[in-house]
Amino acid sequence: MPAWPGGPCPDCGDDMPPNLVTCQTCRALLNPDLEMNFVEIPEFIPLEEISEEEMNKEDVSSSGNSESTSTQVPLVEARGVYVYCSGCRSPLKVPTNFLGKNVSCKHCSGSLVISILPGLTNVQAAYVDCPHCNERIKAARQFLNRNVACKHCNGALNIHLDEPPKT
């Protein structure tokens, strides 16, 4: 299958530069060896809604109420966080022992304070090792301090991340 050599589009006649797949004007395929392929849209299947009673049961079980009959969700401390450098916007993976401390970016050597408090360096996500299967899990900020399921084994856990006390 040779590359498009350049020249007029077979459909609209506009002149197109070499090495294109489709015409920039009419989107027609320029190589006769290629054919249009369409993506089949899957059937929509709505997710089951969780009732307020079930949500309240889940909140009670995670708060440590001994009267609850549901299983306890293990509380797992985050091993580290993902942040973006405020200077060069590069992603950084930072262990939790650096929370609240001044660190330097390995890309631009800029200085930043790693904090989960709003308004300071924004923690984008955290990572933990699943207590059920020991696989690494990366969880976005909105899932921190909440009950979640491991994507590897579907085991329940609560990823805990708090700002360390000021010393």
Residue pLDDT, tens place only, 10-61: 899 999 999 898 999 998 888 888 887 777 777 877 767 666 777 666 555 5
Would 30 be classed as within a structural domain?
no
Would 28 be classed as within a structural domain?
no
From its phi and psi, is residue 100 left (phi > 0), alpha (psi between -120 and 50) or beta? left
Would 53 be classed as within a structural domain?
no
Would 149 be classed as within a structural domain?
yes
Would 33 be classed as within a structural domain?
no
Would 81 be classed as within a structural domain?
yes
Would 142 be classed as within a structural domain?
yes
When divided into structural domains, the chain yields a total of 1
Q: To which H or E segment does residue 126 belong?
A: strand 123-129
**Cα distance between residue 57 and residue 73, in whole Å:** 12
Q: Are 25 and 12 in contact (CB under 8 A)?
A: yes
Q: By residue range, what is the domain housing residue 100? A: 72-160
pLDDT tens column, 92-108: 898 988 888 888 889 89
**What pTM does this model have?**
0.53
